[in-house]
Structure 1
Amino acid sequence: MKAVTVRHNLRCSTIDGVFYMFMVGFAETFFPLFILTMFGSEVGSGLVATVPIMLATIVQLFVPQFVHALRSYKRAVVFCAVLQTIMCPLLALVALVGTAPMWVIFLLASVYHAGAVVGGTPWTAMMGLLVPGPVRATFFAKRSRMLQLGAIAAVLAGAALLDSAEKISPTLANFFSWWPWISQAWTTRPVLVCFAILFTLAGVVRAVSTLYLHKHIEPANATAGHRTLSVSEATTRLRHDGRWRLLGVFILFSFAMMIGSPFWAAYVKQIAELSFLEWAWLIVIWYLGKALAVSWAAEIAQRRGKRKLLIYGAILMTPVPALWALSTDPIYLAVAQLIAGMTIATWELAVMLTTLEVFDEDERTSLLSVYTLGQWGSGVSGSFVGGAILDRMPKDHFAFSVIFIASTIARGLVTLLLMRTHRSGLPVAKKN
């Protein structure tokens, strides 16, 4: 691929990613708080972060056939981005109406996440073709920093809007007096109206992201060597050369993480009793931690290898949930979030670089589909464990501490397993 084409694709990928993260900041970051506001359910606020994604991963098992039918990774990714764009205003409508069964929101969130999960598999395969191997670590590290800044801007803007809902509602109710339904909504449920505004903005920025996805220049016959494998065939392939053993550790780590992580938002809002804006600043600090650590992580990957980065990431991530349980002081939580962001950035970069290495190009889509299903199936199982514990206890600090400490113990056990797997070496695909 020509250098000018590579530069064009890298630019489009960065712009797409920034606007995608605007959407994440306006929409899915606030899903748990949306459930809390509308239903007052701590367990529901945690499960909305995992169950819809799990349902989406079941759909993405058909991604190989989908890509084969479209004969293009880019077309598949753009189609999924359009699907996400449509879901955002539908979620806005639910928020504006103010009444709906929880399953309706879970259904819309599932289709929304399907756009990301189903599109994520061909996107990863496409990036494997468009981003040359020697620059992957550096490019994705720089891109990640810009994406974090995009998410930070969206989260802060969204939280500021939600915090000001009660203050601006009388003025806007009067302004919309000519439209009684909207005027009444601003009077009776201003926070939900602000959620509707956020979800609408998410749809707009996702449309811009979709445009830049469409501008990518995909190699001719990019999927010519693409092989569609059945689930059983893909599983057999992953077991070959020990790849399944390594990926199995990643899947188990998802289980360990999701025992506690999905319930952090409810913990901060209900137990620490922080405002929307204070909650948002903790999210911002988490993103800043990711931005700070990603260059360091990329340097380790280049100098010491991906195996070392995996070990460091797992070890550093292990104690994070226990840190949340120690105190609800906002300053302390900010420090804990900074550490959490730095550790998750290290782990995510290591896992992404490793999966690009261990999947053969011609089978990458099929193998990623099975791996993603295993990863999120495990993650949802972890969230069910955390939710079951929380549901059977008073919703107090001790109950949240139990699931956070359980998550820490589970992470530690998986880290020991990863270190054992690490000694046997990292399997590598035949061609990349």
Structure 2
Amino acid sequence: MSLASVHRRRRDLRLLIGDGVCFSLMTGAGEWQFVLFALALGYSEVTSGLLATVPMFIGAFVQLVTPWGVRRIGSLRRWVWMFAAIQAASLVPLVIGASLGSMPIWVLYIVISIYWASGYMTGPPWQTWFTSLVPSGIRPHFWTNRSRWIQGFLGIGLMAGLVLQAGEQAGLPLIAFAVVFGIAALARTISAILLSRHSEPNPGLAKKIEPPTPGTIRRLFADRRTRGLLLYMLAFFLCVFVTAPFFGPYMRETLGLEYWQIMCVQAGTFGSKILFLPFVGRLARKFGPGRVLWVGAVVTAPAAAFWLISDQLWWLVVLQVYVGFGWACWETGSFLLVFDTIPEDKRTPIMTVYQLALATVMTLGSLLGGGVLEWLGTGMRGYAVLMTLTSAMRLVSLFLLASIEPSGLQLRHRARMLATRTRGMIPGWPAIDVDVVDSDERDPSR
């Protein structure tokens, strides 16, 4: 590799971290405040909670044009930074609405739908572009290092809670939201500028991206392991989003937490991720991303039910530290498995379809959760049922995770072994000697 190539790669890695830092600052200061903003405008808990998913579904449907658009423009870099800039611009109407003190709910839903659509349009092309910027040999280490920066600045973004608290005490709660949304828009603008300065080592890759036609989708999803991984991830997020959109309303309205207290609870998660990510990265390198994903899935499964143990602030913070470790494992394992499992020339159409499916299951999960709260009420009884339900669903989803062997605990293999040996011990049944390891489990590269 030439000296110029080494310099370019190091510059790209620095820019990737800078972009991630600005993106996470936008997420913490802006995206995570959407539901609280709707509550501050006077809308109900269910209406506000659904703001976290319904615009997401609309945006995911719009982003289906991404593969066609990338091929038309002919550059992954140009497409990504352009829509990052549009996402930054979509936050400006929220600044204006908060400054004016009101915003119709239909306008709020449209603006946040544009936010999600533009964000989704950057996702799959960026994932395809990322593999050309970061060699596979350093990818796990770089990803965990970048993730630590991201989680740190996500925590800084969540300090918007202090701004909101100060605004409420000063009698200017909506002006405080205008400030934090303005910070979020500025951060994403800087992110778009950094994206525009990345190199594009494989400029012809954009022309190779296939549009997600029905025939292409059937062919791309024919691989069993790709299909199994994505189906499990969809099932997991369906379970998560039964409760996820309603934690904000639960903390604010039912538990009566102040903004600074909500910030402390959220900071427990992200501080924990920062602390554990180096350890998780070492686990991924030593044992593989599949086993790390299993750890995350098992740890996070009962987490929602643990909220019912106590409503004391110290307990909620400790619980989120535990949850942060689980999410660090789950996110690292799933992210690396996507890169290991899906070839880069197929990643954009596959992940474009996946994002629509993901937004769909998130919306279905939130509608299920909203239906439970409408039926049982938004008191402790309704939330207790909701949190127990989502934990039970996550435990059931572990069976789907077994379908992506040999990355995990080889549950199917062990079940076949047990069945075979049990049959051999039953009087009158012939003992059989079979190789119960299937071809997919023999070949971990599949």
Using the size of structure 2 for normalisation, the TM-score is: 0.88
Structure 2: distance between partners of 1:166 and 1:268: 16
Secondary structure of the corresponding residue to residue 163 of structure 1: helix
Which runs of structure 2 are paired with 1:92-171 in the superposition (5 Å)?
A: 92-156=95-159, 158-169=160-171
Q: Does 1:217 pair with 2:199?
A: yes
Q: Which residue does the alignment assign to 1:194?
A: 176
Q: Return the letter of the residue paired with 1:212.
A: L
Structure 2: distance between partners of 1:262 and 1:427: 40
Aligned-pair CA distance for 1:166: 4.1
Structure 2: distance between partners of 1:365 and 1:91: 30
Identity score, percent: 27
Secondary structure of the corresponding residue to residue 395 of structure 1: coil
428 and 217 in structure 1: CA distance in 2 versus 1, 3 angstrom threshold:
farther
Structure 1: distance between partners of 2:339 and 2:38: 35
- Residues 254 and 376, structure 1, Cα contact 8 Å, conserved in 2: no
Residue number among 214, 238, 241 corresponding to 1:255 in the alignment: 238
**For residues 11-30 of structure 1, what are the alpha-carbon distances to aligned partners after superposition, in whole Å with 9 as ceiling and x for unaligned?**
00101111111111111111
- Residues 162 and 194, structure 1, Cα contact 8 Å, conserved in 2: yes
Q: Which residue does the alignment assign to 1:62?
A: 65
**For residues 84-113 of structure 1, what are the alpha-carbon distances to aligned partners after superposition, in whole Å with 9 as ceiling and x for unaligned?**
111111111111222222121111111112
Q: Which residue does the alignment assign to 1:383?
A: 366
- Give the number of the structure whose alpha-carbon radius of gyration is greater: 2
- Residues 252 and 414, structure 1, Cα contact 8 Å, conserved in 2: yes
Q: Does 1:52 pair with 2:89?
A: no
Residue number among 287, 291, 302 corresponding to 1:304 in the alignment: 287
Q: Which residue does the alignment assign to 2:31?
A: 28
Aligned-pair CA distance for 1:135: 0.8
- Residues 242 and 427, structure 1, Cα contact 8 Å, conserved in 2: no
Which runs of structure 2 are paired with 1:350-389 in the superposition (5 Å)?
A: 350-389=333-372
Secondary structure of the corresponding residue to residue 19 of structure 1: helix
Q: Return the letter of the residue paired with 2:91.
A: C
Q: Structure 1 residue runs of 4+, over 6 Å off?
A: 426-430
Aligned-pair CA distance for 1:293: 2.3
Q: Does 1:413 pair with 2:413?
A: no
Q: Does 1:271 pair with 2:254?
A: yes
Aligned-pair CA distance for 1:427: 8.6
- Residues 311 and 419, structure 1, Cα contact 8 Å, conserved in 2: no
Q: Which residue does the alignment assign to 2:431?
A: none
Residue number among 294, 304, 316 corresponding to 2:277 in the alignment: 294
- Residues 59 and 120, structure 2, Cα contact 8 Å, conserved in 1: yes
Structure 1: distance between partners of 2:14 and 2:62: 30
Secondary structure of the corresponding residue to residue 110 of structure 2: helix
More moved, 1-10 vs 248-257: 1-10
Structure 2: distance between partners of 1:224 and 1:13: 19
**For residues 211-251 of structure 1, what are the alpha-carbon distances to aligned partners after superposition, in whole Å with 9 as ceiling and x for unaligned?**
11111011252425623133421243212344212211111
429 and 334 in structure 1: CA distance in 2 versus 1, 3 angstrom threshold:
same
218 and 311 in structure 1: CA distance in 2 versus 1, 3 angstrom threshold:
same
**For residues 318-359 of structure 1, what are the alpha-carbon distances to aligned partners after superposition, in whole Å with 9 as ceiling and x for unaligned?**
011111122211111111111122211211111111111221
Aligned-pair CA distance for 1:139: 0.6
Secondary structure of the corresponding residue to residue 220 of structure 2: helix
Aligned-pair CA distance for 1:210: 1.1
Secondary structure of the corresponding residue to residue 36 of structure 2: helix
Structure 1: distance between partners of 2:441 and 2:58: 33
Q: Does 1:205 pair with 2:207?
A: no
327 and 224 in structure 1: CA distance in 2 versus 1, 3 angstrom threshold:
closer
Structure 2: gaps of 5 or more residues: 411-439
- Residues 289 and 332, structure 2, Cα contact 8 Å, conserved in 1: no
**For residues 140-185 of structure 1, what are the alpha-carbon distances to aligned partners after superposition, in whole Å with 9 as ceiling and x for unaligned?**
10111111111111211x111111124445xxxxxxxxxxxxxxxx
Using the size of structure 1 for normalisation, the TM-score is: 0.91
Q: Return the letter of the residue paired with 2:72.
A: A
Q: Does 1:238 pair with 2:221?
A: yes
Secondary structure of the corresponding residue to residue 163 of structure 2: helix
Aligned-pair CA distance for 1:420: 4.5
- Residues 212 and 353, structure 2, Cα contact 8 Å, conserved in 1: no
Structure 2: distance between partners of 1:381 and 1:364: 25
**For residues 284-304 of structure 1, what are the alpha-carbon distances to aligned partners after superposition, in whole Å with 9 as ceiling and x for unaligned?**
111111212222221111101
More moved, 226-235 vs 196-205: 226-235
- Residues 249 and 414, structure 1, Cα contact 8 Å, conserved in 2: yes
Q: Which residue does the alignment assign to 1:226?
A: 208
Q: Return the letter of the residue paired with 1:269.
A: R
Q: Does 1:402 pair with 2:385?
A: yes
428 and 376 in structure 1: CA distance in 2 versus 1, 3 angstrom threshold:
farther
50 and 320 in structure 1: CA distance in 2 versus 1, 3 angstrom threshold:
same
Structure 2: distance between partners of 1:3 and 1:402: 55
344 and 257 in structure 1: CA distance in 2 versus 1, 3 angstrom threshold:
same
Give aligned pairs, total.
Answer: 409
Q: Which residue does the alignment assign to 1:177?
A: none
